[in-house]
Amino acid sequence: MSELPPLSTSVDDQVAAANTSGLRPVVFIHGLWLLPSSWDRWAQVFADAGYAPVSPGWPDDPETVEEANAHPEVFAGKSVGDVADHYSDVIKQLDRKPAVIGHSFGGLLTMIVAGRGLAAASVAIDSAPFRGVLPLPLSALKASAPVLGNPLNRHRAIPLTYDQFRFAFASSVSEEEAQELYRTYAVPASGTPLFQAAAANLNPWTEAKADYRNPGRGPLLIIEGLADNTSPPAINRAAYKLQSGNEGVTEIASIPERGHSITIDSGWREVCDTALSFIRRYA
């Protein structure tokens, strides 16, 4: 088996290395206000466990946080459908069906590609809602207000201020850690997916929908942070209830006292190990 490339290499190189390695690929999907580099520590853990990590960005994602903040316009206008098709195209280049792990809107995208029959197993962490998920907790509305508060933001790239990031992502960590997370990870994000998710239950043709009935969906684990303001337990449990109608394995794991920064803050390893244990069982 060939050696896997450094995690900073291009996705084409990661796909090629996964295909020649003989290992099961694991595709990581990030959400809004983050970049693929937010998965670097996870990718190393999975590589050490014998998987081939592949961490694609959304279309046109910059390489670094500094570049992203200098050129926010590159994020504008990316829709759920655009990004789901992008990840589907990457997955179809893999010789083996991958495990797929996503956070926030990446969790929604994970459930979309799983619903397309493209995942050997999948993990959706503090996911954005899809059509059929009805709860709209007040904290989730407040977390999305920086975008949804202005209809013109639908076609813009929107950054979060530190205070907005603190509420939406870093609500369960110390002030010092929250500041560090903001400096290290926060980038602007397309407003389009938030408007799509907000209107999903009013629009039968929405792109923010997952085929949770597809028998080829594969095993799915939903992980929820019980202190998450952006994706509170009510959203994750409603998603779990719908996904449980699938004939495949559907599980949910609750992580106490964790907010939306669950994949990047100092407690990331507990969540990573929970996902790895599930993937090991089914992929």
Residue with tokens 């046109």: 60
Residue 94: give the domain boundaries: 11-282
> Is pLDDT at 2 greater than 50 in this prediction?
no
pLDDT per residue as tens digits for the range 76-97: 999 999 999 999 999 999 999 9
Higher pLDDT, 167 or 10: 167
Q: What percent of the chain has pLDDT over 70?
A: 97
Residue 14 has pLDDT above 60, yes or no: yes
Burial of 214: CB neighbours in 10 Å, binned 0-12, 13-18, 19+? middle
In a domain? residue 75: yes
Distance CA 222, CA 209 (A): 16
Q: Percentage of the chain with pLDDT > 90?
A: 96
Note whether residue 1 is domain-resident. Answer: no
Q: CB within 8 A of 158, min separation 6: which ones?
A: 146, 147, 188, 189, 190, 191
68 occurs within a structural domain: yes
Flag whether pLDDT at 3 surpasses 60: no
CB 122 within 8 A of CB 220: yes
Distances (CA, A) of 17 to 4, 13, 20, 27, 85: 6, 6, 5, 13, 22
Q: Give the C-alpha distances (Å, rounded to integers) separating 214 from 78, 100, 116, 227, 256.
A: 26, 16, 8, 31, 31
How many Cβ atoms from other residues are within 10 Å of residue 72's Cβ?
17
Report CA-CA distances (Å) from 229 to 10, 95, 201. 33, 38, 21
Task: Look up residue 110 and give its DSSP letter.
Answer: H
Domain with residue 232: its CATH number is: 3.40.50.1820
Which token pair is 115? Answer: 């619903």
* 260, part of any domain: yes
What whole-number distance in Å separates Cα of residue 264 and Cα of residue 247?
Answer: 32
DSSP 49-74: TTEEEE---STT--SSHHHHHH-GGG
Domain tally, the chain: 1
Identify the CA nearest to 62 among candidates 50, 53, 71, 54: 71
CB 155 within 8 A of CB 270: no
Q: Is residue 5 part of a domain?
A: no
* 4 within some domain: no
Q: Is 2 within the bounds of a domain?
A: no
Residue with tokens 């509170």: 232
Least-confidence region, from 6-10, 54-58, 75-79, 142-146: 6-10
Q: Check residue 9 and give its pLDDT.
A: 78
Residue 53 has pLDDT above 70, yes or no: yes
In a domain, 204, yes or no: yes
**Helix axis angle, 268-282 relative to 40-48, nearest 10°?**
40
Q: What is the pLDDT of residues 180-238, one digit of tens each?
A: 999 999 999 999 999 999 999 999 999 999 999 999 999 999 999 999 999 999 999 99
8 A C-beta contact, residue 260 and residue 34? no
Q: What is the mean pLDDT of residues 56-71?
A: 96
pLDDT digit string (tens) for 128-182? 999 999 999 999 999 999 999 999 999 999 999 999 999 999 999 999 999 999 9
CA-nearest of 101, 119, 112, 129 to 39 is: 101
Report the pLDDT value the prediction gives residue 1, as an integer from 0 to 100. Answer: 40
Mean pLDDT of the chain: 96
Query: Strand 99-103 to strand 24-29: parallel, antiparallel, or no bridges (unpaired)?
Result: parallel
pLDDT in tens, 213-224: 999 999 999 999
Place of tokens 């996870």: 42
Instruction: Count CB-CB contacts under 10 A for residue 153.
Output: 18
**pLDDT at residue 187, as a whole number:** 98
Residue 263: pLDDT band with limits 50, 70, 90: very high
Q: What pTM value is reported for the model?
A: 0.96
